[in-house]
A and B are shown apart, each in its own frame.
Chain A
Amino acid sequence: MSTASTAIKAKQRPGDRVFSGSAVFAGSMILVTLAAVALFLIVQSIPAFFASHEDASILPESFWSYVGPLLFGTIWAAALALIMAVPISIGIALFISHYAPRRLASVLGYIVDLLAAVPSVVFGLWGIGVLAPAVQPIYAWLVDNVGWFPLFSGPVSGTGRTILTAGIVLAVMVLPIMTAICREVFLQTPVLHEEAALALGATRWEMIRTAVLPFGRSGIVSAAVLGLGRALGETMAVAMVLSASGAVTFQLLTSVNPSTIAANIALSFPEAFGINVNVLIATGLILFIVTFVVNAIARWIVSRRQEFSGAN
Chain B
Amino acid sequence: MSKRIEVRDLNVYYGKFLAVEGVNLEIEPRSVTAFIGPSGCGKSTFLRTLNRMHEVIPGARVEGEVLIDGNNLYDPDVDPVLVRRQVGMVFQRPNPFPTMSIKENVLAGVKLNNKRISKSDADDLVEKSLLGANLWNEVKDRLDRPGSGLSGGQQQRLCIARAIAVAPEVILMDEPCSALDPISTLAIEDLIEELKLQYTIVIVTHNMQQASRVSDKTAFFNIAGTGKPGNLIEYADTTTIFSNPSVKATEDYVSGRFG
> Which residue numbers of A lie inside 8 Å of B, CB to CB?
1, 4-5, 7-11, 13
Write the chain B residue with the least CB distance to A12.
B79
The CA-CA distance from A11 to B83 in the complex, in Å, is 13
Q: Does B78 contact A (CB under 8 A)?
A: yes
Report the minimum CB–CB distance from A239 to chain B (whole Å): 47
Q: Does B43 contact A (CB under 8 A)?
A: no
> Contact: B3 with A8, CB < 8 Å?
no
The CA-CA distance from A1 to B3 in the complex, in Å, is 13
Report the minimum CB–CB distance from A102 to chain B (whole Å): 27
- Return chain B residues, CB-CB under 8 Å to A11: 79
Q: Does B82 contact A (CB under 8 A)?
A: yes
Q: Does B75 contact A (CB under 8 A)?
A: yes
The CA-CA distance from A282 to B147 in the complex, in Å, is 59
Write the chain B residue with the least CB distance to A11.
B79
> Contact: A5 with B71, CB < 8 Å?
yes
The CA-CA distance from A193 to B83 in the complex, in Å, is 50
> Contact: B86 with A1, CB < 8 Å?
yes
Classify the interface of chain A: helix, strand, loop or mixed: mixed
> Which residue numbers of B lie inside 8 Å of A, CB to CB?
3, 68-71, 73, 75, 77-79, 81-83, 85-86, 167, 169
Task: Enumerate 12 A-B pairs (CB-CB under 8 Å) in ascending A order.
Answer: A1-B169, A4-B3, A4-B69, A4-B169, A5-B70, A7-B86, A8-B68, A8-B71, A8-B83, A9-B79, A10-B77, A11-B79
The CA-CA distance from A163 to B40 in the complex, in Å, is 64
> Contact: B81 with A10, CB < 8 Å?
yes
> Contact: A4 with B81, CB < 8 Å?
no
> Contact: A9 with B77, CB < 8 Å?
yes
Report the minimum CB–CB distance from B109 to chain A (whole Å): 11
Report the minimum CB–CB distance from B169 to chain A (whole Å): 7
Report the minimum CB–CB distance from A17 to chain B (whole Å): 13
Pick from B69, B78, B79 the residue with the most CB of A within 10 Å. Answer: B79
The CA-CA distance from A4 to B167 in the complex, in Å, is 13
Report the minimum CB–CB distance from A40 to chain B (whole Å): 37
- Return chain A residues, CB-CB under 8 Å to B86: 1, 4, 7-8
Pick from B70, B73, B77 the residue with the most CB of A within 10 Å. Answer: B77
User: Beyond A1-B85, A4-B3, A4-B169, is A13–B79 a contact (Cβ under 8 Å)?
Assistant: yes
Other than the known A7-B82, A9-B77, what 17 A-B pairs have Cβ atoms closer than 8 Å?
A: A1-B86, A1-B167, A1-B169, A5-B69, A5-B71, A7-B85, A8-B68, A8-B73, A8-B78, A8-B79, A8-B86, A9-B75, A9-B79, A10-B77, A10-B78, A10-B82, A11-B79
The CA-CA distance from A5 to B79 in the complex, in Å, is 12
The CA-CA distance from A135 to B239 in the complex, in Å, is 89
The CA-CA distance from A129 to B71 in the complex, in Å, is 80
The CA-CA distance from A271 to B73 in the complex, in Å, is 70
> Contact: B75 with A13, CB < 8 Å?
no
The CA-CA distance from A261 to B174 in the complex, in Å, is 62
Pick from A7, A11, A13 the residue with the most CB of B within 10 Å. Answer: A7
- Return chain B residues, CB-CB under 8 Å to A4: 3, 68-69, 71, 86, 169
Report the minimum CB–CB distance from A23 to chain B (whole Å): 16
- Return chain B residues, CB-CB under 8 Å to A9: 75, 77-79
Write the chain A residue with the least CB distance to B3.
A4
Report the minimum CB–CB distance from B50 to chain A (whole Å): 13
The CA-CA distance from A248 to B94 in the complex, in Å, is 67
- Return chain A residues, CB-CB under 8 Å to B79: 8-11, 13
Report the minimum CB–CB distance from B81 to chain A (whole Å): 7
Report the minimum CB–CB distance from B70 to chain A (whole Å): 8
- Return chain A residues, CB-CB under 8 Å to B83: 8
Write the chain A residue with the least CB distance to B69.
A4
Report the minimum CB–CB distance from B125 to chain A (whole Å): 14
Write the chain B residue with the least CB distance to A1.
B167
The CA-CA distance from A9 to B76 in the complex, in Å, is 9
Write the chain A residue with the least CB distance to B168.
A1
Report the minimum CB–CB distance from B18 to chain A (whole Å): 26
- Return chain A residues, CB-CB under 8 Å to B68: 4, 8
The CA-CA distance from A153 to B85 in the complex, in Å, is 80
> Contact: B81 with A13, CB < 8 Å?
yes
What 8 pairs across the A-B complex have the smallest Cβ distances?
Answer: A10-B79, A8-B71, A10-B82, A4-B69, A4-B71, A8-B82, A8-B78, A1-B167
- Return chain A residues, CB-CB under 8 Å to B81: 10, 13
Report the minimum CB–CB distance from A13 to chain B (whole Å): 7
Report the minimum CB–CB distance from B129 to chain A (whole Å): 15
- Return chain B residues, CB-CB under 8 Å to A8: 68, 71, 73, 78-79, 82-83, 86
The CA-CA distance from A7 to B71 in the complex, in Å, is 10
The CA-CA distance from A162 to B169 in the complex, in Å, is 78
Pick from A5, A10, A11 the residue with the most CB of B within 10 Å. Answer: A10
Report the minimum CB–CB distance from B185 to chain A (whole Å): 30
- Return chain B residues, CB-CB under 8 Å to A5: 69-71
